[in-house]
Copies of this chain bind each other. A is one copy, B any other.
Amino acid sequence: MIYFDHAATTPVRSEVLEAMLPFFSEKFGNASSVYKLAQVNKKALDDARAKVATILGAQPNEIYFTSGGTEANNWALKGMAEALRKQGNHLITTKIEHHAVLRTCQYLEKQGFEVTYLDVDENGLITPEQVEKALKKETILISIMYANNEIGTIMPVAEIGKIARTHGVIFHTDAVQAVGQLPIDVNRDQIDLLSLSGHKFYGPKGTGALYVRRGLPLPSLLHGGGQERGRRGGTENVPGIVGLATALELAYQDLDIKTAKIQALRDYMIDGIYQRIPHCRLNGDRTQRLPNNVNFSFAFVEGESLLLLLDLEGIAASSGSACTSGSLDPSHVLLALGLPHELAHGSLRLTLGENNTREEVDLLLEKLPLFVQRMRDMSPLYEDYLKQNS
């Protein structure tokens, strides 16, 4: 099996699983209990929190563990909106956020908030000036993703952070795709809230964290016991949290070397596809791009059919984002780039991981042109195109 879908999820690294294992059945105590059994767990939690904080350039007491990126995003947006409602009701985000942000914004609109969804250019980028222009005196929150999950575009986060700080507006970033791949520093980038998700960097599913700058009045999203310093109820998922922190630490070990390798493979793949397949388009900026992301649209061809052909050849990839592949809507991200519907339906996302090899990419480059041609031969759109151009 060749796995080119690391943006959807990643396998748990063996060192990570090993770090988690003792906490399932042996050191299983409730981290909030007083007895010794539980102190091991409390310590494991503290260590994990410290590790995550270090990686982000934050303080341990600014890290809150959640059940994933989705909860972190929901919490940041709904929480700040609730807390700052008296100061204003306007939020700024982009058209290409993950659904965990977009649908939360839509929910907030129903609660009386006004949301500006910034347009992106044809490469999936926004400019800091767009953010500045969108600011109003009612603006209470800017939520702009660090890097896009479909097309890999990296947003100008530091500049946005600066604008937000200058205007006294809170800045949240969904860094679910960036964390583990890009060096992050919440102070350098003047980020006030940051979401991350464990399973995107070889950690366990169902784990995540929200960085909350000290002093921010973020109310709870999950009310309950006094866990997470009273801000997030629920018995702590100790094995999961230990796994997340271990995975995060490992992700940033030799990051430069890993990035160089993956990026070279990415560029090899992009060049190879361009050379071998006519009528195609790389989606997302060529350079402001995650090191592991390749996303192409192939004219006249629908994306899922390519996925199926690749799958039958043992190659796992995706079209649009994993969580919407059950739906029939074309990617809102690709539509936001200005792509016509056929192309928005015809995209293929290939996201690389540490263990992918050149041989695997070579196999893809051998098969993909055949598959695209095969689907084109079946396509009434291609037929039309050939007739018009003959």
Complex Cα distance, B224 from A324, in Å, reads 10
| A225 lies within 8 A of B1 (CB) | no
- A11: contacting residue among B28, B35, B206, B207, CB under 8 A: B28
The answer on a CB contact under 8 Å between B324 and A226 is yes
With A10-B28, A25-B14, A35-B307 as known contacts, state yes or no: A227 contacts B316, CB within 8 Å: no
Q: Are A67 and B71 in contact (CB-based, < 8 A)? A: yes
Residues 306-355 of A contacting B (Cβ, < 8 Å): 307-308, 310-311, 316-319, 321-327
Chain A residues 1-42 with CB under 8 Å of chain B are 1, 3, 5, 8-14, 17, 21, 24-26, 28-30, 32-38
Q: Which of B1, B70, B73, B100 contacts A37 (CB 8 A)?
A: B1
Q: Is A47 an interface residue (CB 8 A)?
A: no
User: In the complex where A25-B13, A206-B237, A323-B233 touch, is A99 in contact with B224 (Cβ < 8 A)?
Assistant: yes
Stoichiometry, copies per complex: 2
Stretch from A121-129, A150-158, A165-173, A197-205 forming part of the interface with B:
A197-205
A106 cross-chain contacts in B, Cβ below 8 A: 223
Query: Which residues of A218-247 have CB atoms within 8 Å of chain B's CB atoms?
Result: 220-227, 233-240
Interface size, A (range) = 35 or more
Taking CB as reference atom, which chain B residue is nearest A1?
B37
Residues of chain B contacted by A107 (CB below 8 angstroms):
220, 223
Q: Contact at B323–A9, with CB atoms within 8 Å?
A: no
Residues B67 and A223 in contact, CB atoms below 8 Å apart: no
Q: A114 interface residue, CB < 8 Å from B?
A: no
A289 at interface (Cβ–Cβ under 8 A)? no
Mark A residues whose CB is within 8 Å of B: 1, 3, 5, 8-14, 17, 21, 24-26, 28-30, 32-38, 66-71, 73-74, 98-100, 103-104, 106-107, 197, 199, 204-207, 220-227, 233-240, 304, 307-308, 310-311, 316-319, 321-327
25 contacts across the A-B interface (CB closer than 8 A): A5-B29, A5-B35, A8-B32, A11-B25, A11-B26, A12-B25, A13-B25, A14-B25, A30-B323, A33-B316, A33-B318, A34-B311, A35-B307, A66-B67, A68-B234, A71-B222, A74-B223, A74-B224, A100-B225, A103-B233, A104-B223, A197-B235, A205-B239, A225-B323, A240-B240
Top-8 shortest CB links A-B: A225-B323, A206-B237, A67-B67, A100-B224, A70-B234, A103-B223, A70-B224, A11-B28
